[in-house]
Amino acid sequence: MPPFSAPLPGPGGARRFAHSRRRTRESFVLKPVVWVGYTTRYREGGPRFRQAARTLAAELRERSPGAEVRLARVESKREFLEEMAALPPASLAQLHLVAHGGMYGPMFGSRQWPEQFSRHEWSAAKLPFADGAQAFFHTCRSARWFAPYFAETFGVEAHGYHWYTTFSRHKHRFAWVPPTHPAESPLYVFGCKGRKSHGWLGTAGKYAGVALPEVMRSYRPEARRASGYDAVAELYDTAFQDIRVRADEWRWLKTQLESSAPLSIVDLGCGNGALLCQLAPELSSGIGLDASSEMVVRARANATARGWAQRLRFDTLAGPTLPLPDQSVDRVVSLLSFRYLDWDPIVREVQRVLRPGGRLLVIDMVQSPLRVWQAPALVLSKWRTLAATRRFAPYRGALTRLLADPGWAKMLESNPMRAEHELSWYLGSRFPRGRMEVLNVGLKSKILAFDSGPIHSATPPERE
């Protein structure tokens, strides 16, 4: 079965999407629009994305003669929104994006200035979908989280790939594309098992022709309850009463927060408030913000129990707006929660609320398969983690109960980890004077720490 073979949805094809308007006593019919967008700059493969998008557009013209097929190169979020704004209202029958992708959707821009719509930005976008419209994301891993989210957000059927995508000279099986492949010849992009998802055996199967192209996975716009930390707040609070169980992270933060004068700190994704409660003796003030109302309740209770209620404040974070005045805090910290945030909107807010010379400190876990040369670092990380947890006897049992709870698995499904390069390229572009460090290495993940360096202006750096 080909990876994409859907006609215009519903009975009547293009007729279902025809929209008539009356002007003076005459009427005219607007053709449904099939829009194909592609990127070329984010990372390698740019010219091939253009070629694959042209091949896809040609097929769609043959398949849907009653529709207007538009092909557009979009290299930024702004260009994508401009393309959508140029379409007639309720005319978009199919949306296709041929590009690189991350767990949270298609990538725009470049490695020097990566761009990705946040949840908040998607929810605010005006996309002129017609009744019964469909969206197709010809990008890596778009079926794992993004396609279901897009279907729910826009009320359209959305399609994506679970595996990483690859280029092929043939539509129904993988065929290697040599550098001499003519620019005018057909080229296809589809999901396929390979080295990134299945190791070297995956690569062998791919080039041997054993691994067939993945059929796009489809998701209908069924309403789903957003899953966050509310359901596991009690278990999480029990496990992380003392933030020092995260020994590597705690040691790094303490070093970065050393100061001759007490600091005012904002903790983004504060959870149960354990970090601010531990830092409280050395702070002038602390503000914890979290999207989980249950976590905020527990953070307030913990601060009261430890006698820090006057110095610490905890509030629910509703959207990417910080409830703080301009230039009002010295540090903004995000411990193992930055991946959940609306990156561009929240970074603008961080730059607004920091005093001149303030810093953003981010620690987060990212997907990163272990490399052979990292084996010594893995052993050292495991030893340090074991040594730290032995100091906190109740922690291991509480953590086991948290990880075994069905609510934890559901939370992770709705809030997946990002790839290492997504975090490092993004923070490196927005804060070019910053420094990234590796704190801990696992079999499939790493813990990274980023110090933005002094921020002296509320104006973000210019896009390349």
pLDDT value for 459: 65
Percent helix, strand and coil across the chain, each rounded to 5? 35, 25, 40
pLDDT value for 226: 60
pLDDT value for 162: 95
pLDDT value for 323: 95
SS3 call for 462: coil
Q: Which residues contact 7 (CB under 8 A, 6 or more apart)?
A: 13, 63, 64
Beta strands in 187-234, from DSSP E residues, in sequence order: 188-191, 217-219
**Cα–Cα distance, 338 to 422 (Å, whole number):** 12
pLDDT value for 463: 65
SS3 call for 63: helix
All residue ranges of the chain with pLDDT < 70 are 1-29, 223-226, 458-464
pLDDT tens for each residue of 12-55 = 444 444 443 333 333 345 799 999 999 999 998 899 999 999 99
pLDDT value for 16: 41
pLDDT value for 76: 97
DSSP 275: H
pLDDT value for 403: 94
pLDDT value for 202: 74
pLDDT value for 1: 38
Give the domain ranges of the chain.
13-219, 230-451
pLDDT value for 183: 86
CATH class entry, domain 230-451: alpha beta
pLDDT value for 224: 64
